[in-house]
Amino acid sequence: MKKSFIVIMLFLSALMAVGEDGYNCWLRYVPVENNNLLLSYKQAASEIQVNGTTATIMAARYELSLALKGLLGENIPLTKDIRKNGSILIGNAGFLGEGRKSLANDLQKAGAEGYLILTTSINQKKSILITANTDIGVLYGVFHFIRLLQTRQAIAALHIISAPRLKLRLLNHWDNLNRTVERGYAGFSIWNWHTLPGYVDQRYIDYARMNASTGINGTVLTNVNADATVLTKPYLEKVKALADAFRPYGVKVYLTARFSAPVELGGLKTADPLDPAVQQWWNNKVNEIYSLIPDFGGFLVKANSEGQPGPQNYGRSHADGANMLADAVASHKGIIMWRAFVYSNDLPDDRHKQAYNEFVPLDGKFRKNVMVQVKNGAIDFMPREPFHPLFGAMQKTPVMMEVQVTQEYLGQGTHLVYLSPLFKECLDSDTWSNGKGSTVAKIIDGSLDNHELNGLAGVANIGNDMNWTGHPFGQANWYALGRLSWDHTLSSGQIAEEWLRMTFSNDAAFINDVKIMMLSSREIMVKYMNPCGLHHIMATGHHYGPGPWVNNLARADWNPVYYHKADFAGIGFDRTPSGSNALGQYKAGAKKLWEDSSTCDERYLLWFHHVTWNHPMKSGRTLWNELCHQYNSGVDSVKWMRQVWNKHKTRVDAIRFRQVAMLLEIQEKEAAWWRNACLLYFQTFSKMTIPEKYEKPDQTLDYFKQLKFPFAPGN
């Protein structure tokens, strides 16, 4: 035993010296380093019995064998019968026969996708049973069991029942057919349309594995700014190849539908959703899709938003457009996800209010297989936003939440920002729609308003970079989306610890320090970018750096000056009754948090109020001094993040340590850029000095205004 332990430690030392490329993400199956734990795992996993031969059961068998070989350092034999203690038995509950009756209650709780992991006696031998009502449940259960081993949990007495709280757990890819990715910061699209359908890259299988390991069960392959070409026969055959690759892992394929496709592809003169010829075109197209992909999930639609065509082009409503598509997919059990991200430059009203104003009158008018997909906040994936007022306002309509995993407004690909706290902040927000406790989570999981159709979607941060997400810590946000989609009651800390243990190390000192860094990172970024409720003050096009001075864009609501409204009297967007009254779209219990500038949650102060530069803050500082404090605190905190990371150089493999170290150095410089540019600009209105204790900007305001990044990713 001592010899094997030495071999394992030598292997780990060599691995850390050489480094890892990050390709395996959290599915790294490296040897268990604790000798006693290794022995207990080997005793519990002496053989594997697999019941079933479907592609999904074979995927579960492959994953379990691969993981045990990597973790335990040896091949675990497959057997047809339980022969000794320490067997692992996997298969759907059908193989249990009469034995299923004793597990009936547990299996009922597991439902269609959940699973049961149980330490039990089979043929008088102590065994671990991983079972479910369906094959996909078995696969999810196997991944859960592997996670226990990866995170070094005790497995001597298991009784785990787990079922997803949300039915639709989706990634939304903003990938274009030319392989560019809108707001993508990890290379080009992973979908190589040129070589599909004949060449199915192993990367597609590994993508499905990683999604299944967290419970993600759907992927929208194409950009919401849709291209109708993907609906042509050659491209549908390519989509079929991906769907076939993903199917064993329970990942359904969805597409974005360009509303004008009947005109662009079908030669019709109109795309009016009430025109019988248009309806027939969509019916025919949908039938064609399902003939190739029988389990096709349905369509995600962006319509009448930012120049995209939609039903309003023909004097029709969003419900008219969504229902037309819903009718086309209904007989195939498909769904329509209709995005509520709409705003018009022609309307003088606050952009914060426009989606609510357009969609609330349509509540109850959508078909039962339509979901309205709502961003977590009312503007556009800002570093911090109050929850969208549509949550709780459409009680007759299933509403799903859309979050952004790619960091469009959060430092893009170079900043370490763990997003689970952002997701949880919205999920845990109380809308008061049915009284106290009406959280966003209860709305999107359907429990508050009794909706069977429910879900959560995240805009993917995945590209063809070797490590998938560009920044090594970007993987944590992909992982967090899946885990919270499965169970939104999980804490950000638990998810961070799981991910760190699986992705980097089980070393306690490393976990303790880096988990705190991760949990602090989003708040740190808010401080150096958007403190006190400031929002949408990024530069033009790339959304990368600061540009609070921008006022020359074609649409008023694309300009940062529209949002911060800084003047000599003060700063902030007045959304009270004396201003735009966006507050009027919230229930009284929620409004109470924000309606009075003297008691407003200061994280949202400038979101809802225009206040003077001398406005007193809870810290005892004036608003101006508080802004100076927050911007500087954000920069100082990134310096602290660098110190935390550097402290653990010997605990991380060389390649990934250096990657993160370089990116944190960039983050510190860019945090200072945000601080200096914003304070210099706002100082032109406040006419107040930056307190002496803070570092002074090293360049002039004109210098920052002249910076251009025409080829930045996402521009």
User: Whose structure tokens read 């063809």?
Assistant: 464
- In order of start, what are the domains of the chain with their CATH numbers? 22-162 (3.30.379.10), 168-503 (3.20.20.80), 527-573+610-705 (3.90.1330.10)
Size of the chain, expressed as the number of residues it contains: 715
DSSP letters spanning 479-508: HHHHHHHH-TTS-HHHHHHHHHHHHT---H
Mean pLDDT for the stretch of residues 485-513: 98
If pLDDT is split at 50, 70 and 90, which confidence band does 712 have?
A: confident
Evaluate if residue 18 carries a pLDDT over 60: no
Mean pLDDT for the stretch of residues 435-455: 97
User: Whose structure tokens read 């979050």?
Assistant: 403
106-143 residue pLDDT tens? 999 999 999 999 999 888 889 999 999 999 999 999 99
The neighbouring-strand residues paired with 116 are: 131, 161
**Is residue 380 annotated as part of the catalytic site, yes or no?**
yes
The two counts, helices (H) then strands (E), for the chain are 22, 15
User: Whose structure tokens read 């991906």?
Assistant: 242
Q: How far apart are CA 404 and CA 172, in angstroms?
A: 9
Q: How far apart are CA 663 and CA 412, in angstroms?
A: 11
Tokens of 644: 């935390």
- Spatial CB neighbours of 257, under 8 Å, sequence gap ≥ 6: 226, 231, 299, 300, 301, 325
**Is residue 497 annotated as part of the catalytic site, yes or no?**
no
560-600 residue pLDDT tens? 999 999 999 999 999 999 999 999 999 999 999 999 999 99
DSSP letters spanning 130-199: EE-SSHHHHHHHHHHHHHHHHTT---SS-EEEE--S-SEEEEE--B-TTS-BTT--SSS-S--TTTTTT-
If pLDDT is split at 50, 70 and 90, which confidence band does 15 have?
A: very low
Burial of 620 (0-12, 13-18, 19+ CB in 10 A): exposed
User: Whose structure tokens read 């029988």?
Assistant: 294
In whole numbers, what is the pLDDT of the chain averaged over residues? 95
pTM of the model: 0.96
For position 1, what pLDDT does the model report? 46
**Is residue 670 annotated as part of the catalytic site, yes or no?**
no
Q: How far apart are CA 392 and CA 448, in angstroms?
A: 9
The neighbouring-strand residues paired with 337 are: 300, 371
Evaluate if residue 71 carries a pLDDT over 60: yes
Mean pLDDT for the stretch of residues 436-454: 97
Q: Residue type at 345?
A: N
Reported as half-sphere exposure (CB side, CA atoms, 13 A), residue 451 has a value of: 29
Q: How far apart are CA 547 and CA 566, in angstroms?
A: 13
Indicate which residue of 380, 513, 523, 636 is catalytic: 380
For position 635, what pLDDT does the model report? 98
Q: How far apart are CA 340 and CA 301, in angstroms?
A: 9
Q: How far is CA 256 from the centre of its chain?
A: 18
161-205 residue pLDDT tens? 999 999 999 999 999 999 999 999 999 999 999 999 999 999 999
Tell me if 618 sits within 8 A of 602, measured CB to CB: yes
Q: How far apart are CA 637 and CA 658, in angstroms?
A: 20
If pLDDT is split at 50, 70 and 90, which confidence band does 3 have?
A: low
Tokens of 570: 């003060």
544 or 99, greater pLDDT: 544
Indicate which residue of 113, 272, 408, 557 is catalytic: 408
For position 97, what pLDDT does the model report? 85
Indicate which residue of 106, 182, 306, 523 is catalytic: 306
| E strands present in 22-68 | 47-50
